[in-house]
Chains A and B, each alone.
Chain A
Amino acid sequence: MDSMFVHKMWVDKELSKMVTAKTVPFPMLSDGGGSIGRIYGVYDEDDGVDIRGRFLIDPDGVVQAYEMVAPPVGRNIPETLRQIQAFQLVREGKGTKATPSGWKPGKTVLEPGPDLVGNVWKVWTVDKAFD
């Protein structure tokens, strides 16, 4: 929502006290007036702000995931990174692979097909969703 000038002030005055890096490693965009937020369905007209929406867009420009959270609750960054890693693995597999609940890099990947139907229990257990 804030202008690029406010972004600079935030980087200079607050971020500099949190981290040693002098810059944010990605562009901080300005959505003055909420025009981008409106087309992405995250603009709150009553409060005049974009809520905490997060979209994962693949290399073809296609939306693969999104999450929306009301302003007072912050997001879980490792979950976003985990989803990107999972989508990258799925994309490289060209439709042959799927990542079950709780998947993280190095953990069991499923290969959906006739042989897997009814047999997921042989390769994946519920405790893997929680560790």
Chain B
Amino acid sequence: MAEKPAVGCKRPSAKVQKPPEETTQPETVTEKKDYAMIQIGQKAPDFAAPAYYNNEFTTIQLSDYLGKWVVLCFYPGDFTFV
């Protein structure tokens, strides 16, 4: 019976079932890279990203906004709230 994915703000992702391996190998542990948390009073890391703005597709560079106050807002996906 197919299971319906929960509808929420998360992004349902595919799960790939691995074929049984013929030879037993030691499990490799993929290390998650740790990122230093943003610090208050430190420079915001610069980046460039594709964007949709004023009915145009464009590229936004954070450092182009020096001299202005910036609200940088992350959200899980379109069709969810802010």
Bound-state CA distance A53–B37 (Å) is: 12
Please name 10 further chain A to chain B contacts, defined as beta carbons within 8 Å, in addition to the given A59-B67, A62-B43, sorted by A numbering: A7-B51, A8-B52, A10-B78, A23-B53, A27-B51, A28-B53, A47-B76, A63-B40, A63-B42, A64-B40
Residue of B nearest to A47 (CB): B10
Asked if B4 CB lies within 8 Å of chain A CBs, one says no
Nearest CB of chain B from residue A67's CB, rounded to whole Å? 10
Whether B41 and A62, one on each chain, are in contact in the complex, defined by CB atoms closer than 8 angstroms, is: yes
6 A/B residue pairs, CB under 8 Å, sorted by A: A9-B78, A28-B51, A38-B35, A40-B74, A55-B70, A71-B10
Bound-state CA distance A9–B4 (Å) is: 25
User: Considering only CB atoms and an 8 Å cut-off, how many residues of chain A contact the other chain?
Assistant: 60
Bound-state CA distance A115–B61 (Å) is: 45
Bound-state CA distance A63–B40 (Å) is: 5
Asked if A104 CB lies within 8 Å of chain B CBs, one says no
Whether B69 and A59, one on each chain, are in contact in the complex, defined by CB atoms closer than 8 angstroms, is: yes
User: Considering only CB atoms and an 8 Å cut-off, how many residues of chain B contact the other chain?
Assistant: 50
Q: Chain A: residues with CB nearer than 8 A to chain B?
A: 1-11, 14, 22-24, 26-32, 35-42, 45, 47-66, 71-72, 74-75, 77, 80, 84, 87-88
Whether A62 and B42, one on each chain, are in contact in the complex, defined by CB atoms closer than 8 angstroms, is: yes
Task: Tell whether A62 pairs with B78 under 8 Å between CB atoms, given A1-B11, A27-B52, A87-B69.
Answer: no
Whether A54 and B78, one on each chain, are in contact in the complex, defined by CB atoms closer than 8 angstroms, is: no
Task: Tell whether A66 pairs with B40 under 8 Å between CB atoms, given A27-B60, A51-B74, A74-B81.
Answer: yes
